[in-house]
């Protein structure tokens, strides 16, 4: 049995979801993989920071809405994220700080510091990976540690691993996907008669939307995700800002009704055509016939469809956001990196 010491930067929904997932699966992780997960350090801009080298009380960390006041006085450190990386005993840092699709900061700096300190990093943060995956992965290799990004696209639905580790050998030619739960939710609600702004308000209330929902409805979140997939599946780095990107904000109730009349539905699709390199990438709303496998993917659900040389078409449908769903993706990387052989 191996103690795996985990430090978490950012203890919002996803961080808490991870604590809950680890608590729920603790015995399973021990018995099946020989992993004894210990969350030793947690740091959050708003809540403060905690540290215990033997592991913080998991039952308390996993309690929804827990405040840091409930922990022992000697566990409160006052460290910022950088001090936590430098001072806390940890094998792996979970980087879950605020998403910044413009610069990737502060996450890029945290990940860089952690990798240089010889710690593996697992993240669901799209900003640093869309903008700097190639150099961060190289840094991880130089330091002989791992960088896990499964949860950046489709949360715990294993889109990244399916493409990279399973389908690659079959020759991925192109990929298209519904990669933003907020937009898919809004489009589904509009098809049922809701106004755009009411549907967006519901998506925000349900916790799907980004802090700045312009990133969702403007297509920029999807652009960040296809940028990550392009690097992972085709080894081609395309900066999100260079991806032609059209969101869903201009779709009118009339557009939605017109699609219904011709037995079609609107979906915001991210596509990567890798049949020639560099791949052609775009993000835009597309009217799909109801017979298309992606047309029936509704609500906050995501989907990805691979066109492969040997296997033809493969479609994966699953969650794309949510606290436990994203935590499941983080846990998959944790298992892969630390399981006993």
DSSP 81-122: HHHHHHHS--SEEEE-----TTT-TTHHHHHHHHHHTT-EEE
Furthest-apart CA pair in the chain: how many Å? 65
CA distance 167 to 281: 20
CA distance 224 to 283: 10
Site for ligand HSE in 158-177 (CB under 6 A): none
For residue 320, state whether it binds ligand HSE (rule: CB under 6 A). Answer: yes
Peptide bond into 43 cis (omega under 30): no
Q: Residue 61 or 183: which CB sits closer to ligand HSE?
A: 183
Put the strands of the sheet holding 302-308 in their side by side order: 280-289, 264-273, 172-178, 302-308, 312-318
What DSSP designation does 212 have?
S
DSSP 35-51: EEEEEEEEEETTTEEEE
CB of 285 to ligand HSE, least distance (A): 15
Catalytic pick among 5, 126, 225, 267: 225
Among 182, 282, 305, 308, binds ligand HSE (CB under 6 A): 182
Among 187, 200, 209, 226, binds ligand HSE (CB under 6 A): 209
Candidates 181, 174, 134; CA nearest to 153 is 181
The span of 113-121, 164-172, 202-210, 333-341 binding ligand HSE (CB under 6 A) equals: 202-210
CB of 236 to ligand HSE, least distance (A): 22
Helix (H, G, I), strand (E, B) or coil at 234: helix
Among 15, 106, 158, 181, binds ligand HSE (CB under 6 A): 181
DSSP 120-179: EEEE--HHHHHHHHHHHHHHHHHTT--EE-GGGSSTTS-HHHIIIIIIGGG-EEEEEEE-
Q: Residue 81 or 99: which CB sits closer to ligand HSE?
A: 99
| Residue 126 is among the residues annotated as catalytic for this protein | no
Q: Residue 163 or 218: which CB sits closer to ligand HSE?
A: 218
Measuring CA to CA, how many Å separate 1 from each of 22, 36, 42, 90, 241? Answer: 16, 7, 23, 16, 45
Q: Residue 56 or 228: which CB sits closer to ligand HSE?
A: 228
CB of 138 to ligand HSE, least distance (A): 25
Among 20, 180, 188, 227, binds ligand HSE (CB under 6 A): 180
Q: Is residue 304 within 8 Å of 316, Cβ to Cβ?
A: yes
CB of 310 to ligand HSE, least distance (A): 30
For residue 247, state whether it binds ligand HSE (rule: CB under 6 A). Answer: no
Q: Residue 37 or 128: which CB sits closer to ligand HSE?
A: 128
How far does Cα 224 stand from its chain's mean position? 11
For residue 186, state whether it binds ligand HSE (rule: CB under 6 A). Answer: no
CA distance 116 to 132: 15
CB atoms within 10 A of CB 297: 23
The span of 57-65, 113-121, 179-187, 259-267 binding ligand HSE (CB under 6 A) equals: 179-187
For residue 196, state whether it binds ligand HSE (rule: CB under 6 A). Answer: no
- Interface mask (CB under 6 A) for ligand HSE, residues 268-307, using x and -? ----------------------------------------
Q: Residue 181 or 240: which CB sits closer to ligand HSE?
A: 181
CA distance 341 to 337: 11
Site for ligand HSE in 38-77 (CB under 6 A): none
CB of 332 to ligand HSE, least distance (A): 16
Give contact residues for ligand HSE (rule: CB under 6 A).
180-182, 208-210, 216, 221, 320-321
- Enumerate the active-site residues: 225
């Amino acid at each position: 049995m191996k103690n795996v010491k985990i430090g978490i930067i950012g203890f919002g929904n996803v961080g808490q979801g991870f604590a809950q997932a680890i608590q729920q699966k603790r015995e399973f992780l021990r018995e099946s993989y020989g992993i004894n997960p210990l969350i030793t350090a947690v740091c959050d801009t708003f809540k403060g920071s905690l540290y215990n080298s033997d592991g913080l009380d998991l039952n308390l960390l996993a309690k929804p809405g827990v405040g840091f006041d409930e922990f022992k006085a000697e566990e409160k450190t006052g460290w910022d994220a950088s001090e936590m990386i430098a001072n806390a005993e940890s094998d792996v840092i979970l980087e879950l700080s605020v998403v910044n699709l413009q610069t990737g900061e502060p996450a890029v700096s945290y990940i860089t510091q952690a990798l240089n300190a010889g710690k593996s990093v697992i993240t669901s943060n799209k900003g640093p990976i869309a903008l700097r995956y190639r150099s961060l992965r190289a840094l991880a290799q130089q330091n002989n540690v791992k960088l896990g990004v499964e949860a950046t696209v489709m949360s715990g639905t294993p889109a990244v691993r399916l493409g990279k580790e399973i389908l690659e050998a079959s020759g991925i030619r192109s990929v298209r996907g519904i990669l933003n739960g907020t937009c898919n939710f809004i489009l589904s609600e509009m098809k049922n008669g809701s106004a755009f702004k009411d549907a967006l308000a519901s998506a925000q209330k349900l916790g799907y939307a980004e802090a700045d929902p312009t990133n969702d409805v403007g297509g920029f979140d999807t652009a960040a995700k296809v940028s990550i997939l392009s690097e992972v599946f085709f080894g081609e780095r395309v900066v999100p800002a260079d991806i032609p990107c059209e969101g869903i904000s201009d779709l009118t109730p009339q557009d939605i009704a017109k699609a219904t009349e011709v037995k079609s539905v609107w979906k915001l699709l991210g596509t990567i055509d890798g049949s020639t390199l560099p791949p052609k990438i775009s993000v835009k709303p597309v009217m799909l016939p109801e017979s298309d496998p992606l047309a029936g993917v509704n609500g906050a659900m995501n989907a990805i469809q691979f066109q492969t040389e040997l296997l033809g078409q493969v479609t994966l449908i699953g969650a794309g956001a949510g606290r436990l769903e994203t935590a499941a993706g983080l846990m998959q990387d944790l298992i892969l990196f630390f399981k006993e052989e």
